[in-house]
Amino acid sequence: MKSKGLFITGTGTEIGKTVIAGCLAATLKHSGMNVGVMKPICSGDNSDAKYLKHAAQVDDPLSLINPIYLKYPLAPSVSARIEEKEIVINDIDKALNTLSEKYDFLIVEGVGGIAVPIKDNFLVAHLIQRLQLPILIVADVGLGTINHTMLTVSFARAFNLNIVGIILNQLQPEKAGLAEQTNPQEIEKLTQIPVLGVVPYEQRLNSTKLDRSFMVDFFSQHVDVSKIEHIINIDF
Ligand SMILES: Nc1ncnc2c1ncn2[C@@H]1O[C@H](COP(=O)(O)OP(=O)(O)O)[C@@H](O)[C@H]1O
Ligand SMILES: [Mg+2]
């Protein structure tokens, strides 16, 4: 069965989830798809929701794209505790349902990594289960990523999540070394999950004035989106 969306998680925070989610949304939109975006929980600021909104060129209010906003740049459960605010998961369900009616496909960015606590006894992995979305894992391409990726994959499997692919991202403008060259194949072999591509460091992805056509060209050049077409209502 084709899905209504894809949940973008990662091996941690500041790993490239927003950039990859934005590029994917822009690319799907460019191919004619009616795609929406969502960042259910923002902690600290809502720049991720703004980036996604801009990348996907949608007109939804930020309060719908990002139904839960927390003040401190901390794990959601910790920020909520300090703020004395209750996180109501049903607010996420409602926003997702509203957006699902409007769009054919939703790109949903997680918060931090998959084991981050949202509430007591409720982790990002539980949220993914609840939303019933397949996941895409974003990981650094460099040294150390095999361990982080294996841990994320095994955690996702323990929750019976449907992992459709991994994207490796280069976070620093450094010349690719041996780890960068060997990691994609090694990760594919160890996890048995397709690595859809390696996204090089590119300053223009980091900009506040995003050039969407550049994003689409750049992303399409480095990521084989056709490998996830089975979950998307579009043929590449
Ligand atoms: N491939 C890339 N090239 C250049 N900058 C990148 C790239 N990927 C991520 N960044 C930058 O690195 C930082 C972290 O990326 P981001 O997508 O915000 O991570 P996350 O959403 O996982 O926290 C941001 O400043 C982002 O613009
Ligand atoms: Mg982000």
Q: Is pLDDT above 80 for 128?
A: yes
What tens digit of pLDDT does each residue of 136-146 get? 999 999 999 99
Write out the two tokens for 213: 């056509």
Is residue 159's pLDDT more than 60? Answer: yes
Give tens-digit pLDDT for 5-18: 999 999 999 999 99
Burial 8-38 (b: 16+ CB within 10 A, else e): bbbbbeebbbbbbbbbbbbbbbbeeeebbbb
Q: Give the span between the Cα atoms of 191 and 194, in whole angstroms.
A: 8
Q: What is the pLDDT of residues 56-112, one digit of tens each?
A: 999 999 999 999 999 999 999 999 999 999 999 999 999 999 999 999 999 999 999
pLDDT of residue 233: 62
Look up residue 67 and give its two tokens: 């139904």
* CB of 10 sitting under 6 A from ligand 1: yes
More confidently predicted of 233 and 212: 212
Alpha helices (H) in 66-211, listed in sequence order: 76-83, 89-102, 124-131, 145-158, 178-191
The pLDDT of residue 2 is 53
Nearest atom, ligand 1, residue 169 CA: 1
Distance CA 150, CA 158 (A): 12
- Please say whether the beta carbons of 113 and 13 come within 8 A: yes
- Percent of the chain at pLDDT > 70 equals 97
Average the pLDDT over 115-137 and give the result.
Answer: 97
Q: What percent of the chain has pLDDT over 90?
A: 89
* 186-200 pLDDT, tens digit each: 999 999 999 999 999
Q: Which two tokens stand for residue 111?
A: 């918060």
Check residue 210 and give its pLDDT.
85
> Domains in the chain and their CATH numbers?
5-139+151-224 (3.40.50.300)
pTM of the model: 0.97
Other Cβ atoms closer than 10 A to 197: 21
Give the model's confidence band at 207: pLDDT under 50 very low, under 70 low, under 90 confident, else very high. confident
For residue 170 and ligand 1, the question of a CB distance below 6 A is answered with yes
Distance 80 CA to ligand 1 centre (A): 25
Pocket test for ligand 1, best of 7, 8, 18 (most atoms within 8 A of CB): 18
Token duo for residue 176: 């690719």
> CA–CA separation, 211 vs 189, rounded Å?
35
CA distance 215 to 220: 8
Q: What is the average per-residue pLDDT within 178-189?
A: 96
pLDDT at 117: 98
DSSP code string of 35-90: EEEE-SEEES--HHHHHHHHHHT----HHHH--EEESSSS-HHHHHHHHT----HH
Residue 3: the pLDDT is 64
Which pLDDT does position 230 carry in this prediction?
A: 82
Mean per-residue pLDDT of the chain: 94
Tell me if 3 CB under 6 Å of ligand 1: no
Please identify, by atom number, the ligand 1 atom nearest to the C-alpha of residue 203: 4
Q: Check pocket membership of 116 for ligand 1, CB cut-off 6 A.
A: no
Mean pLDDT of 208-213: 86
From the CA atom positions of the chain, what is the Rg in Å? 17
* pLDDT computed for residue 1 by the predictor: 43
Cross-strand partners of 180: none
> Given this model, what pLDDT does residue 175 score?
73
